[in-house]
């Protein structure tokens, strides 16, 4: 036998396989798609929790009133920071004080303070067209750290006003009144006119270190309000999600996106090769840099995905390979060319990637990497709502 011939033939065969492996792509067909507002860009800010929850609320208003609104994320961010600063100082700094937060935080702020349109408070008082919060985050953390360590030992009556001044310098003053379609509102009256009710929404998770069908506090730093979630078995959590989409509801989705299967080009699967992200953005934090690099094409044979178990979910949480990285907004279900199901996800990284800011997250990825979801209570299947005591 001619060894050179054998090696040449093998190399040629491998090249042919590699060439054919780069010709096919995922082909998605929409099964059910519920209305959403336009894709936004959180840019250089750690505010995915707010952008995704506000998007979720905007879809709720579309669903209930048929009215498209653009609500101010920065109104919520500023109020949230103020509440957290007070709690941080009360706890002598034994609380996470950073840009990240939770979906429940958005609902709390709207319930306590109301909401305003984007036009009434754009929140960009620092000279850029998109959010860039590193300086503000550092300034606020430095301020509350100094207040927490106050050498006078007794807090003055001025420190909260001082904090408010920093927020106002970056995000602007909170509007007391504003006009929408010729009618004047306050933040509270606008909330009521839009029909946003805190009690309509439920937080759901799925882990075995707490009893199923009971609420528990999700132990992550961003859950600084210590909100609780109903604990469901994984299969029932997924049943809630599919039922919600089928019945016309959308879902606020908290997930780990540091997995190699969460790409910069609109896919979230288990597993797939790692891709990278736009430089300097929140996206870069999770999926890398290299916006200018060519995206590798998906292999012709769509990757076989992992079979996810409840035990795998728990192991990821316990070992911190599943963390609360990123909040997004699920609004639909699609299938690929092999009939596999995917959730359609509105992200907050701008109109980017192959699907213009939309991601397709496989059933396996969502089962494995979902930290929590928020849905309208009417989106729950009746038998699950009964188990949770929700009416």
pLDDT at 24 over 60: no
In a domain, 237, yes or no: yes
* Helix-strand-coil split of the chain, %, nearest 5: 40, 15, 45
In a domain, 297, yes or no: no
pLDDT at 75 over 70: yes
pLDDT at 9 over 80: no
Q: For residue 294, what pLDDT is reported?
A: 43
8 Å CB contact between 346 and 328: yes
Average pLDDT estimate for 45-50: 98
In a domain, 169, yes or no: yes
CATH of the domain at 261: 3.90.70.10
Range of the domain at 329: 25-290+302-388
pLDDT at 384 over 70: yes
Q: For residue 120, what pLDDT is reported?
A: 98
Q: Find, among 277, 284, 253, the residue nearest to 361 by Cα.
A: 253
In a domain, 76, yes or no: yes
pLDDT at 73 over 90: yes
282: confidence class by pLDDT, cuts 50, 70, 90: confident
pTM above 0.85, yes or no: yes
CA distance from start to end of the chain = 77
7: confidence class by pLDDT, cuts 50, 70, 90: very low
Place of tokens 């048929």: 66
In a domain, 150, yes or no: yes
Q: For residue 297, what pLDDT is reported?
A: 46
Q: For residue 151, what pLDDT is reported?
A: 86
Q: Could you read off the pLDDT of 226-260 as tens digits, one per residue?
A: 999 999 999 999 999 999 999 999 999 999 999 88
Q: For residue 276, what pLDDT is reported?
A: 53
Q: Could you read off the pLDDT of 140-185 as tens digits, one per residue?
A: 999 999 999 998 889 999 999 999 999 999 999 999 999 999 999 9
**Average predicted confidence (pLDDT) for the chain:** 90
Distance CA 308, CA 369 (A): 10
In a domain, 244, yes or no: yes
346: confidence class by pLDDT, cuts 50, 70, 90: very high
Please name the helix (run of DSSP H) or strand (run of DSSP E) that holds residue 205, with its range, or none: strand 201-205
Q: For residue 283, what pLDDT is reported?
A: 73
Cite the DSSP H helix spans in 114-233: 134-148, 159-171, 187-194
In a domain, 9, yes or no: no
pLDDT at 18 over 50: no
8 Å CB contact between 274 and 262: no
Q: For residue 155, what pLDDT is reported?
A: 96
Average pLDDT estimate for 351-365: 97
Q: For residue 301, what pLDDT is reported?
A: 77
In a domain, 295, yes or no: no
Q: Could you read off the pLDDT of 319-343 as tens digits, one per residue?
A: 999 999 999 999 999 999 999 999 9
Q: Could you read off the pLDDT of 179-234 as tens digits, one per residue?
A: 999 999 999 999 999 999 999 999 999 999 999 999 999 999 999 999 999 999 99
Number of independent structural domains in the chain: 1
Distance CA 256, CA 250 (A): 19
8 Å CB contact between 197 and 376: no
Output the six-digit token pair for 254. Answer: 């908290």
């Amino acid at each position: 036998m001619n060894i050179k011939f054998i090696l040449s033939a093998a190399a040629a065969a491998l090249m042919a396989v590699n060439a054919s492996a780069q010709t096919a792509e995922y082909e998605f067909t929409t099964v059910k798609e519920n209305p959403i507002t336009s894709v936004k860009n959180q840019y250089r800010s750690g505010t995915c929790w707010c952008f995704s929850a506000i998007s979720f609320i905007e879809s709720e208003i579309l669903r209930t009133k048929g009215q498209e609104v653009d609500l101010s994320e920065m109104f919520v961010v500023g109020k949230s920071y103020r509440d957290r600063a007070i709690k941080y100082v009360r706890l002598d700094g034994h609380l996470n004080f950073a840009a990240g937060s939770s979906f429940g935080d958005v609902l709390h702020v709207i319930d306590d303070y109301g909401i305003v349109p984007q036009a009434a408070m754009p929140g960009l008082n620092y000279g850029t067209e998109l959010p860039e919060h590193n300086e503000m985050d550092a300034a606020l953390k430095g301020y509350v750290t100094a207040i927490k360590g106050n050498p006078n030992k007794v807090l003055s009556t001025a420190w909260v006003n001082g904090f408010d001044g920093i927020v106002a310098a970056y995000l602007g003053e909170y509007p007391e009144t504003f006009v929408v379609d010729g009618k004047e509102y306050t933040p509270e009256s606008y909330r009521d006119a839009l029909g946003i009710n805190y009690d309509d929404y439920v937080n759901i998770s799925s882990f075995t270190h707490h009893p199923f069908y009971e609420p528990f506090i999700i132990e992550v730093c961003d859950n600084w309000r210590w909100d609780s979630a109903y604990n469901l078995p994984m299969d029932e959590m997924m049943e809630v999600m599919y039922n919600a989409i089928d019945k016309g509801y959308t879902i606020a989705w908290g997930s780990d996106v540091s997995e190699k299967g969460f790409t910069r080009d609109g896919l979230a699967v288990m597993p797939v090769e790692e891709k990278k992200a736009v430089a300097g953005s929140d996206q870069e934090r999770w999926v890398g840099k290299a916006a200018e690099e060519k995206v590798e094409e998906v292999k012709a044979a769509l990757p076989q995905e992992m079979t996810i178990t409840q035990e795998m979910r728990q192991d990821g949480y316990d070992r911190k390979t599943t963390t609360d990285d990123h909040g997004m907004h699920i609004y639909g279900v699609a299938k690929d060319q092999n009939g596999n199901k995917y959730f359609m996800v509105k992200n907050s990284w701008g109109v980017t990637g192959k699907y213009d800011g939309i991601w397709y997250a496989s059933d396996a990825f969502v089962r494995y990497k979902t930290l929590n979801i928020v849905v309208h209570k009417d989106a729950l299947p009746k038998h699950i709502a009964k188990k949770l005591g929700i009416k």
